[in-house]
């Protein structure tokens, strides 16, 4: 049984640690903006909760709270894992570059999230246009 051989810490080769630091930083960059957006959405719901106006106040969304807390937990896990991988890499090689690959990974993750967000926005807009076209019974002209 190979599971019995693992006492607590698993030793990784230096190359895997070198690749793990920017990879984990990329995941951090991918998760950081949705987490900030979830907390901002939650703050806006809290601010607008008391402003009833004509209609009755909307209830506080539990899904938004769950999303914000879940993304925060996920981000915390990946940040702590990235810090541990970077410190293990620094222990194995004292002059190993850690900050630059981590920042590049975060930047690539943010760009990846932005591309995904643009694609999803375009797909939603196209679906809404098709639904409007179907309701009106004809082809709508494309607005650019």
Please indicate, yes or no, whether the overall pTM of this predicted structure exceeds 0.85.
Answer: no
Q: Where are the beta strands (DSSP E) in the chain?
A: none
Q: How far apart are CA 118 and CA 122, in angstroms?
A: 6
Q: How far is CA 6 from CA 1, 15, 21, in A?
A: 10, 20, 22
Angle between helices 14-49 and 99-136 (to 10 degrees): 50
Instruction: List pLDDT tens digits, range 58-67.
Output: 677 789 899 9
Query: How would residue 48 be classed by pLDDT, with cut points 50, 70 and 90?
Result: confident
State phi, psi for 84 to the nearest 5 degrees: -65, -40
In the DSSP assignment, the letter for residue 66 is: H
């Amino acid at each position: 049984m190979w599971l019995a051989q693992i006492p607590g810490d698993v030793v990784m080769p230096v190359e895997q640690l070198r690749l793990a630091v920017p990879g984990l930083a990329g995941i951090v960059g991918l998760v950081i903006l949705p987490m900030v957006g979830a907390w901002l959405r939650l703050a806006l719901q809290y601010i607008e909760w008391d402003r009833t106006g004509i209609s009755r106040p909307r209830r506080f969304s539990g899904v938004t709270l769950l999303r914000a807390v879940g993304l925060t937990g996920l981000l915390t896990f990946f940040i702590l894992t990235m810090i541990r991988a970077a410190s293990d890499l620094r222990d194995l090689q004292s002059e190993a570059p850690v900050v630059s690959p981590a920042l590049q990974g975060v930047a690539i993750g943010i760009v990846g999230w932005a591309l995904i967000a643009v694609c999803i926005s375009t797909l939603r807009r196209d679906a809404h246009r098709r639904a409007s076209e179907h309701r009106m019974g004809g082809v709508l002209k494309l607005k650019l």
